[in-house]
Chain A
């Protein structure tokens, strides 16, 4: 019985060690480089420029890009990565809106409203 308990304890210790090792490896792979963030910022800027060409830039996109650049400059690539991802997301939403609205604006004409 005692041998069995010791066996369980050994197995548990081995598993927890393995868990720590895997976690550490995952942590290493999550490390974000400045280059990656810079690429994301450039992507957000490109999409934002396209949206602006359609007179459809959003204020929030500019803010997020500026914040990401600032945070990266201050040496926090992880936070900058989060902000840059948000900037890409928001820029994409503004572009989607511009594309969608190129047709759906017509739905708001008063004649159409009256016909509902």
Chain B
């Protein structure tokens, strides 16, 4: 009896939910945006690039005051120095990136040769390898500084991510990760940043996932330094009692790929500061 109920539920799920799960990325994005439009009718969709500050006028005012003396300013300068420092062969990072390095909006992309998602951090290391330099640790300060500078010179460029047929599987994996419960608290990313977005977690307002990727790297006062999106993923995982994964692990890159496509067309406004 139990078996037949389970089988019936599985068949029903397959009929009604699987087609939704396999909807194409563009319709996923439309549903994603529509969700926030319905949830926050008074907030312009593009305003979500400011994260939780788009949902709390008072906190936005305080944040804007802090931005008068941006705590990430020195990181931009240091990143620029690193970006222009010649490798041992005399070339610089500029040799690897078009548009003088203003490319943040084009990452991540799916590399059809390597069959994996390439984030900006991975691209920086590929550039080093191409120029016979040792790769950097993804948790290193240099990766954060270089990414900060690149984000800064990419400001206002609109996110332009392509999900071709070959990148589809990676996108779907990122999507599954986003909607899956994990950790002892049994929370999915979507619980905090969709269902509970705009609500308070202690004194903090939970941000919408729309626009989540636009403002990284971010100077977090909690960290006292600039850090990348994957550092935040690790923190999010641990906050719900799940073990964080390695920075630039395949799973996190796929998640970034999915989230970036959800924010397609939104302007890059990183680096930013957050509490």
Contacts and interface: CB of A to CB of B under 8 A. Distances in A.
A62 B241 CA distance: 11
B181 A110 contact: no
B21 A109 contact: yes
A112 B34 CA distance: 13
Kindly state the interface size class of chain A when it binds its partner: 20 to 34
Interface in A82-116: 90, 93-94, 97, 100-101, 103-114
Nearest to A113: B35
Nearest to B35: A110
B188 A105 contact: yes
Interface in A57-96: 57-60, 62, 90, 93-94
B179 interface: yes
Interface of A: 52, 55-60, 62, 90, 93-94, 97, 100-101, 103-114
B262 to A, nearest CB: 10
Contacts of B191: 108
B179 A109 contact: yes
Kindly state the interface size class of chain B when it binds its partner: 20 to 34
Given A60-B184, A108-B190, A109-B23, 6 more contacts: A57-B243, A90-B184, A97-B181, A101-B180, A109-B28, A110-B32
Main DSSP-derived SS at the A contact region: helix
Contact of A55 (B13, B34, B177): B177
Nearest to A48: B243
A9 B182 CA distance: 62
A60 B241 contact: yes
A110 B243 contact: no
B184 A105 contact: no
B245 A55 contact: yes
